[in-house]
Structure 1
Amino acid sequence: DIPGEGEHKIMMYIRRAKMMEGYANNLRHCMYGLDADLIMLALVTHEPHFALLREEVVFGEPRKTGYSRKSIGKMGEFQLLHISVLREYIALEFNSECTDTKKMKTAGNTSTQSPYDLERIIDDWVYMCMMVGNDFIPNLPMLDIAEDGLDRMVHAYKTKVLAVHGHLVLDGRIQHKPNQAFLEALHEITSDLWLERIRNNFGSKQRNSRRYNSRPNNDKGLTPEQMQEWKEESKMIDKQQGSDGKRQTIDKDNLTYYKLKFRGFFLDNDDDHPAGAADGNDGHDGNRGVRSDLVKSRASSYKDIRGLCYHYLEGLTWVMRYYYEGCQSWGWFYPHHYAPMPKEMSALLTADDYLQVGLDMDPGQPYRPLEQLLSVLPPHSKALLPTPLHRLYSESSPIKHYYPTDFGLDSNFKSTPWESIALIPFIDEKVLKKAISDAKVFDNLTKPEQHRNRRYGANYIYHYSPSLDPSHPQYDELKKKDDDDVDGKHDNGSGGVVVKATLKGLPDITHPVSVERVWDYPPNDTRFV
């Protein structure tokens, strides 16, 4: 009953075990789960013998099976991934590029020592994977893992970064100069992909427009905001194509991610002078129903984009530390719906930013279970919460605006609805907790509900005990020994541990050959890298 993800608790246990005297270097680990993050977590342990067990998932057509595409699986069939094999493939991927000293010198590296270090390359590979998709920050634009984003990253890393500038990560810390070079290389990739996608998107709009026999205009029922968006895209396309239809050389920096797709993503605090007014925009996107003020000036744009870039660097730092050391801050979150472009990050972030990022992270405390549920459950799911909490979803609730029933969905160039970005507000932790405190909802919980709402419980570890296993060859001898030296407890001395079911109708969990003990969680300031 300790807050946190189960796989990260297991990782913490492994990291701590590796610090203990007498740890067996050839110890074998096997972890069960469907989460793709388990692959990254297994890699960052740098353990030579690690395997992942999971059910085999088969993707099929819903109309043929009658089930959701994401939930089809073969009952009883499992897959076993040996991380050692993945490590070998990563080594093969980088070996030819990273050990060619002639190529290194041609690239500008005069050192005769090869920079090839498999363990550090694995760290860099995990870091690159974070940029194309993880649970905590959005992927970099145009670099989706489902669209060969990782392959493009790896190619840029091998050809333009590693041999010349070195590794992206050192002891779990993001390095400034290699990352600046890496972001510049990514910019060359993403800018071309971005322009191609915009042209394709605009071409689709033009084809749809021709169905109505004319260019878009107000006579066709378009809102002023839609007209303004069309005009901006039209100007951009006109710059890209000359009269002969060939692409012209343009200043790509003026075609930023934000100005083209997310006009007004950065909101100016001066509400008396909406940024969109000068461009015929009333500050609202009529198509999505969300505020869309245009950037007023280059100065304010610089400030806001730099803030976004720093938050993204902070997010990468948080995730890296989460993978390598455990949770650094329970209250941290990435406060934007979108990621910055690589060009903005390379241009606006300084060496001091890389040195200072993450130093001011407050460890804080995890949410209580009901606080966490209030942070994620929509109004339609309030029945899952105790009755006293339902009032926080009412129209008079001070946090009602955190639970909109009508909100925008940005497809973000994805083809399936579940990949869309829900444009809902971020919850302010202080406002949420104040609303809970003022309403005194926790005071009205039943005793069982209060018990379930505890912040901390205990971590339990279950060990196999040969003295409880009649099939063990030394069972008779071991049975005579006292098992108390393992700090375990047995079920009335008659066998293994029995964990009683907490809900009616569920079976007890029996460990007939196991012993149980409490495991103390390491303090926050413990480093394992």
Structure 2
Amino acid sequence: MKIQDPSDNLKIDFERIIDDFIFISFFAGNDFLPHMPSLEILEGAIDLLMTVYKKEFKNLRGYLVDMSKHEKQAKEKRAAYVKLSRVEEILHSCDLYIIMLVLLQILENTKELKENLKDHLRKRSDIFKNGDFRVDKIKFGTKQRYYKEKFSVETPCDTEAKRKEIVQKYTEGLLWVLLYYFSGVPSWTWFYPYHYGPFASDLKGLGQVKVTFQGGVPFKPFDQLLGVLPPRSYLSDF
């Protein structure tokens, strides 16, 4: 990976770049967190994230992750090992980049869409007649529609309150997964309580987010095995 126009005052550290790459890949989802809307691995999310990172590296004025500060953070209860303000810049750039790609795709496809419009209308007519269709209520919807559909909120006031809660939990999740990969489980009680993630543009003011973890105790091996069994397995004869 080649960084475009790195800052003269910032020494390129390949190990730190790898750490950053691991961290930003969390936005595309993993075993513990869902992906953000518009950042799906099968749709090229990793390539997009790396493209934005390379383009914005100079403007970031530093790396996203510094695990050397983790020991200090453990004492001071601060997320010093991640520069959340820089993470916010990356997410903002991703949001703009996605919009740009969508607009370019629309422009490139306009002619083809016009030429195929009649065919599309005919096919859609056949589909509706047969009743064989599915509607993605979110694909071209707004944030309000997304939060209503995925989080069951109705009013703008409820949406804003839920958005803040989701951003807090998702930010906790980003840091939890990072610590899990680099230094071990930071909390045995923490989990992300939703099936869906927030929009990249919703993660504003990350530098003000406070994150602390309660250590807890791990499950016993037998309890872990019970936790992954299907619910109906309790009826099985042993």
1:136 aligns with 2:51: no
Confirm or deny that 1:159 pairs with 2:55. Answer: yes
- Structure 1 residues 137 and 313, CA gap change in structure 2 (3 angstroms): same
Match of 1:265 in 2: 150
State the Cα distance separating 1:186 from its structure 2 match: 1.1
Task: Give me the whole-angstrom Cα distance separating, in 2, the residues matched to 1:118 and 1:213.
Answer: 54
Shift of 1:169: 1.2
Matches of 2:127 and 2:48 in 1, distance apart?
40
Instruction: Give the letter aligned to residue 307 of structure 1.
Output: E
Counterpart-to-counterpart distance in 1, 2:217 and 2:102: 40
Alignment of 1:340-359 (within 5 A): 340-345=198-203, 347=204, 349-353=205-209, 356-357=210-211, 359=212
Structure 2 unaligned runs (5+)? 71-80, 107-112
The answer on whether the counterparts of 1:183 and 1:343 sit within 8 Å (CA) in structure 2 is yes
How far did 1:120 drift?
A: 1.5
CA offsets 1:97-136 (integer angstroms, 9 cap, x no match): 254xxxx5xxxxxxx4234222211210111222224221
Q: Distance in 2 between matches of 1:194 and 1:335?
A: 31
How far is the alpha carbon of 1:370 from its aligned partner?
3.8
Name the counterpart of 1:177: 85
Shift of 1:255: 2.3
Question: Counterpart amino acid of 2:41?
Answer: I
Tell me the equivalent position of 1:367.
219
How many Å separate the matches in 1 of 2:87 and 2:187? 24
Question: In the alignment, does 2:186 pair up with 1:328?
Answer: yes
CA separation of 1:192 and 1:370: change in aligned 2, threshold 3 A: farther
Alpha-carbon distance in 2 for matches of 1:206, 1:338: 33
Identical-pair percentage:
27
SS at match of 1:121: helix
Deviations 1:75-108 (A, max 9, x none): xxxxxxxxxxxxxxxxxx135x254xxxx5xxxx
Aligned-pair Cα RMSD in Å: 3.6
Please, which of 15, 23, 44 is the counterpart of residue 127 of structure 1?
23
Q: Is the 8 A contact 1:132 1:145 kept in 2?
A: yes
Aligned residue for 1:9?
Answer: none
**Cα–Cα, structure 1 residues 206 and 341, in superposed 2: closer, same or farther, change >3 Å?**
farther
Partners of 1:194 and 1:380 lie apart in 2 by: 45
1:190/1:123 CA distance change after superposition, 3 Å: same
What count of residue pairs does the alignment treat as equivalent?
213
Matches within 5 A, 1:22-421: 93-95=1-3, 97-99=4-6, 104=7, 112-160=8-56, 162-165=57-60, 166-171=62-67, 173-191=81-99, 209-211=124-126, 255-256=142-143, 259-260=145-146, 263-267=148-152, 295-345=153-203, 347=204, 349-353=205-209, 356-357=210-211, 359=212, 361-382=213-234
Cα pair 1:98 1:158 within 8 Å, conserved: no
Shift of 1:342: 0.5
Tell me which amino acid in the other structure corresponds to 2:177.
Answer: V
Give unmatched runs, 5+ long, in structure 1.
1-92, 105-111, 238-253, 268-294, 388-529
Q: Secondary structure at the match of 2:2?
A: helix
Change in Cα spacing, 1:362 to 1:344, as seen in structure 2 (3 Å) is: same
In structure 2, give the amino acid aligned to 1:174: V
Residue 372 of structure 1 aligns to which amino acid in structure 2?
Q
Go from structure 1 to structure 2 and tell me whether the alpha carbon gap of 1:207 and 1:189 turns closer, same or farther (over 3 Å shift): farther
Q: Is the contact made by 2:26 and 2:174 (CA closer than 8 Å) also made in structure 1?
A: yes
Aligned partners of 2:180 and 2:93: how far apart in 1?
A: 27
Cα deviation code 1:355-382 (max 9, x no counterpart): x21x2x1111112334333332213444
> Retained in 1: the 8 A contact 2:32–2:173?
yes
TM-score under structure 1 length normalisation:
0.35
Task: Classify the secondary structure of the residue corresponding to 1:296.
Answer: coil
Find the aligned partners of 2:122 and 2:168 in 1 and give their Cα distance: 40
8 Å contact from structure 1 (residues 153, 186) kept in 2: yes
Alpha-carbon offset, residue 152 of structure 1: 1.0
In structure 1, what is the Cα distance between the partners aligned to 2:26 and 2:207?
Answer: 21
CA contact (8 A) 1:321 1:327 kept: yes
Q: Greater RCO between the two (CA within 8 Å, min separation 6)?
A: 2
Tell me if the contact between 2:88 and 2:206 (Cα under 8 Å) persists in the aligned partners. no
Question: What CA deviation, in whole Å up to 9, does each residue of 1:143-195 have, x standing for no partner?
Answer: 233332111111101112x2112211122622122111101011123446679
For the pair shown, which has the larger CA radius of gyration, 1 or 2?
1
Q: Pairwise mapping of residues 463-502 of structure 1 onto structure 2 (< 5 A)?
A: none
More helix by share: 2
TM-score w.r.t. length of structure 2: 0.73
Structure 1 pair 364/131, CA: closer, same or farther in 2 (3 Å)?
same
- Counterparts of 1:148 and 1:155 in 2: how far apart (Å)? 11
State the shift of 1:336 in Å.
0.7
